[in-house]
Structure 1
């Protein structure tokens, strides 16, 4: 995706929507100082350009019974395009894997995994993740507590 040129109004819209995607168009218009019609046009332009990818509710994992979160460093048996594609295909439908990042450094990927408890996590790792044939090594890091988990991106001034 190409870098989209954002003006101050676009950045303000994005800042407000990142903090509260449930804001009404009328309230958003009031906050940025435009009438509702041009505000909606700007939001639609940002959506159509792919700047705004989607809207989500942020759910507290513990409140829905997801008591264990981990990061898992994954090393593949050879860092080549075929193994990367096989790995991505294998993890795509594992719901407990909520993030997958291709990285540099000691591993090839880092996963964020959420499970109900340690037993469920162990079962997931034994039955699914460690059985992916291109996986060479796994290093798990259990998240003890989270001090910052922001979904708000810092928007640069163009």
Structure 2
């Protein structure tokens, strides 16, 4: 699938996307009031945005500390080789580790950057020793513990 295909949308679609990013639980009735359309065309527009793949999913954002996840890290990973087989095998393993909440293929010093969340430093160490470092394709890793987070937005700016 070509992910470079861009769907055209107007000012009302942009407003819908801004509102839903701020509050995905908003009712269709309230959304229709906020954008100035009646409920039926509002629902039709939201469905079109969902079907086109612009709206990928809806999520509840949890407070990590309140559910017992106190350590977050970024881990820079270099693989033993840059071939498709190694990348695919690494991705298969990473997708099986729930504590890896983000994985990005990058340029620069490493090949991937992972965001990992764990209960505490002991759980993080165990995860790294028993799971991540055991992935055959991993050559080296560099961990960066997140001390504080000043911005953690999942809201995307909607281009004109």
Tell me, yes or no, whether TM beats 0.5: yes
- Alignment partner of 1:110 is 2:152: no
- Distance in 2 of aligned mates of 1:26 and 1:63: 33
SS of corresponding position for 1:131: coil
- Please, which runs of 5 or more residues in structure 1 have no aligned partner? none
Work out which of the residue numbers 7, 19, 23 in structure 2 matches 1:16.
19
Shift of residue 100 of structure 1? 0.3
- Distance in 2 of aligned mates of 1:101 and 1:20: 26
- Distance in 2 of aligned mates of 1:155 and 1:87: 33
SS of corresponding position for 1:73: strand
Q: Deviations over 1:75-107 (max 9, x none)?
A: 000111111000000111100000000000000
Q: How many residues align?
A: 157
Aligned to 2:41: 38
- Please, which runs of 5 or more residues in structure 2 have no aligned partner? none
The 4+ residue runs of structure 1 with deviation greater than 3 A are none
Work out which of the residue numbers 67, 70, 86 in structure 1 matches 2:70.
67
SS of corresponding position for 2:133: helix
- Distance in 1 of aligned mates of 2:93 and 2:62: 26
- Alignment partner of 1:146 is 2:133: no
Q: Deviations over 1:27-69 (max 9, x none)?
A: 0000000000000000000000000000000001000000000
SS of corresponding position for 2:47: helix
SS of corresponding position for 1:41: helix
1:128-143 equivalence runs, <5 A: 128-143=131-146
Work out which of the residue numbers 83, 88, 95 in structure 1 matches 2:86.
83
